[in-house]
Structure 1
């Protein structure tokens, strides 16, 4: 668990990264005063909202970069590279709310019968990753509660995000892997 101060540090860093990039395409580096806790490799997603509507969301599900670097990269990617939205423009920056979700390492959910997934996922606590061959989809823990989803809907929407049929999770198929993870949210 990160401290509230470290969460605020990451939020400020994200806003600065987006501002600098929109002004002159400068990529900022982690500040010298970065707390050691933020140098640990952790997964992270940066979500941008404008008028309570999604404006961009990109991140790293796996812990492959130090958190501070992954946060900078994710903030810039969410603002300028999310294929669902046009790049953020300078005039929008004051109207954008930033949310950072720091992730735990994903854990494979093991079941004998796909119907068991329903009992192994906690809505509001667990995020999901579903993968089958080259398809992979991820939904953050807060997505299920924000959209009033039950466990079956959450599983189905994660399948759709992965480009699979909505009921792919219930098919008794060894090629489907479902992972859960938790997230600490800073707004």
Structure 2
């Protein structure tokens, strides 16, 4: 598993879900994601970065997506990217990891720990070595300055404050030719 791995955006979903009107669940994802992981022999020396283009948010509702891009939520005019940069990666069990890092949304950065399960490593039909990882983590959107809401007559609110972040990632290991390795 050691080496440099690039996130495969066409086989990766970085998404979220929350309650809507306190009775249903809304799901969304970011259609433009990038990232990488540098995995060291000692996993504790590894690092990872994931970047999402906030304006690529997709909840299958254009009006809602536009509202999420506004100053009430992501404010993409001023803060076009959402990023997660690891500060620690811990192997907690076989194929189970906790990645702790700084999640930056708008101008707020907070430490978040995300449990991830390594689903497997295998070669695809094109000769790429792939790794699959999945995990999720609940956060409170208000911690990142996203306070907007509308009260309901029933006493609840329109948009849930707890957000479940969802990670379904496919990474491809970087391979170098012998000549490229010598240049390093």
* Alignment TM class, shorter chain as reference: under 0.3
TM-score, structure 2 normalization? 0.27
Higher gyration radius (CA): 2
Q: Give the number of the structure whose residues are more often strand, by fraction.
A: 2
Q: Give the number of the structure whose residues are more often helix, by fraction.
A: 1
TM-score, structure 1 normalization? 0.27
